[in-house]
Amino acid sequence: MAAEGKTRRIYLDNAATSWPKPEAVYRAVEHVLRELGAPAGRSAYAEAVEVERLVSSARRRAAELLGAANPRHIIFAANGTDALNLALWGLARPGDHFVTSVVEHNSVLRPLAEMEARLGVSVTRVDCDDRGVVDPADVRAAMRPNTRAVAIVHAANVTGAIQPVAEIGRLAHEAGALVVVDAAQTAGDLPLDVDRLGADLLAAPGHKGLLGPLGTGILYIRPGVESHLQTLRQGGTGTKSQSDRQPEELPERFECGNLNVPGIVGLGAGIDYLLTHGVSEVRRHAEFLCGLLLSELAEIPGVRVFGPADAADRVGLVSFTVPGYDPQEVAALLDTQSRIAVRAGLHCAPLCHRRLGTIEQGGTVRASFGPFNTSDDVEALAAAVVGLAEAGV
C-alpha cells in the first residue's frame, strides 16, 4: 500500500527491467547473502553444498523453460549483453560474414561493428517493414558462402514486433549458417522452445521477463555448437585446477571465476514463478494489456503508435509519440504529474529508430508490461496521455 499522501508508482518499464519481482526472488537472494554466504563449486561444507544445489536447480529450471534437454548447455552470464558477446565473439573468425537486421539492440550491433573494425568480418544488416518485422526472404538473400551466423532478435525492443525466427533459422541452416537469437524481450514473456526456434545459441537477460535480479543472464548453446565457440575469458572453475587450460566441459568452459550466486539463485526463483504460473498465462495477460493500450491510444488525436496493429503480433510493449512534445518530455511529465514510469529515447536501437523516422526527434515513449500490471495501470496511462495531448495542442 502506498504511504499516505503519496501517489502509487505505476511501473511500465518492464522491457528495461521487471519490477516488482515475485516475493520468492527477494527471499532467495536474502537467504544466500544472510544465511549461506558461500561460493558455488569451491568447497564441501554444508552451506557450499547447498549453494551448489541451488545453482544447479536454477540451471535445470532455465533449461526446462527453454525446452533444452541438457541443463549443462545453459551458461550463466553477467547479463544478456554478456551472453550475446560470448556467442558472437566466440563464433567470429577473420573473414567471416554475419547477417543481422536493423531492428537489433546495440548488444548485437556494437559487437558486430567492433568485429568489423578488429577482425575484418563483414556484416549485412537487412531492412524491416513499417511494422518493424524482418522478411525471412531478405535474410536468405543476404547469405553468402562465408556466412558464419545470423543474429536476430526474437522481438524488437522498440516496436515489440515478434520476428519470424523459426523461418529465419530454417533458411540460415539450409545455407550452412548458425543462428544466434536475442531473446531479451521474449524469455519469460513467450513460451519458448529452442529446437522449434532453430536457435543454435540463445541469449537472454535474467532481470527482464525471467523476473530475476539485475546482473544475471543466460546463454543456451545447442549441443555440438560449443566446438565452434572460442572462450572469451579464462580462469578458476574449481575443477581440473592442475591444468593451466580452461576445461572443455560445459558449463565450466564458459563460466570462470565466482558465479553471481545471489543473482543466480534469485533468477532460479523467478523462473520457478514462471513455470508454476505458466508462461502462456503471462503471455495472455501481457497481450490483453497491450491490446487495451493500443485501443486507448488509437482514440487520442495526433498520438502515433509504432509496431504491429494486432497485440498478438507483438510482445507486451507499445512505443508511441505525443504531438507537441519530445519523448523525454513525455516521460518526465508522466513521472512528475502521474507517477507513471516509462522509457523514452532510442532504446539502444538506433537503426530501428532511423528506419521508423524517429531518430531525429529523440526516439519514442515506450510503455511495457509485466505480470503484476493491471488494466487500471493502462487506463491511468491513457488518461495521462490524453491530458498531455490536449495541453500540447
The pLDDT tens digits of the residues spanning 51-101 come to 999 999 999 999 999 999 999 999 999 999 999 999 999 999 999 999 999
pLDDT given for residue 6 in this prediction: 63
pLDDT(393) > 60? no
Q: Is residue 1 part of a domain?
A: no
Q: Is residue 14 part of a domain?
A: no
pLDDT(3) > 60? no
Do 45 and 99 lie in one domain? The reply is: yes
pLDDT given for residue 86 in this prediction: 98
Indicate the pLDDT class of residue 246, thresholds 50, 70 and 90.
confident
Do 256 and 328 lie in one domain? The reply is: no
Query: Which cell is 24 given?
Result: 520468492
More confident: 215 or 6: 215
The pLDDT tens digits of the residues spanning 322-375 come to 999 999 999 999 999 999 999 999 999 999 999 999 999 999 999 999 999 999
Q: Is residue 120 part of a domain?
A: yes
When pLDDT is averaged across residues 258-283 and rounded to a whole number, the result is 97
Do 210 and 244 lie in one domain? The reply is: yes
CATH of the domain at 308: 3.90.1150.10
Residue 121 makes CB contacts below 8 A (sequence gap 6+) with: 92, 93, 94, 95, 96, 97, 98, 112, 115, 148
Give CA–CA dist 363/344, Å, rounded: 7
Give CA–CA dist 218/213, Å, rounded: 13
Q: Is residue 354 part of a domain?
A: yes
- Which runs of consecutive H residues, i.e. helices, occur in the chain? 23-31, 46-66, 80-91, 106-119, 136-142, 165-174, 194-197, 261-277, 279-298, 327-338, 350-356, 375-392
Indicate the pLDDT class of residue 245, thresholds 50, 70 and 90.
confident
CATH of the domain at 59: 3.40.640.10
Query: Which cell is 306 given?
Result: 509504432
Domain stops at, among 262, 277, 292: 277
pLDDT(7) > 90? no
Give CA–CA dist 63/222, Å, rounded: 11
Cis peptide before 20 (omega within 30 of 0): yes
Q: Which residues are catalytic?
A: 348
Round the average pLDDT of the chain to a whole number and report it. Answer: 95
For 211, the domain range is 23-277
pLDDT(237) > 80? no
Q: For every residue of 265-297, which 3-state class applies, written as one string?
A: HHHHHHHHHHHHHCHHHHHHHHHHHHHHHHHHH
Do 50 and 86 lie in one domain? The reply is: yes
The number of domains in the chain is 2
What single string gives the DSSP state of each residue in 141-168? HH--TTEEEEEEESB-TTT-BBP-HHHH
Domain stops at, among 248, 277, 306: 277
Do 305 and 251 lie in one domain? The reply is: no
Do 186 and 240 lie in one domain? The reply is: yes
Do 268 and 337 lie in one domain? The reply is: no
Domain stops at, among 277, 296, 317: 277
Do 238 and 316 lie in one domain? The reply is: no
Angle between helices 279-298 and 375-392 (to 10 degrees): 20
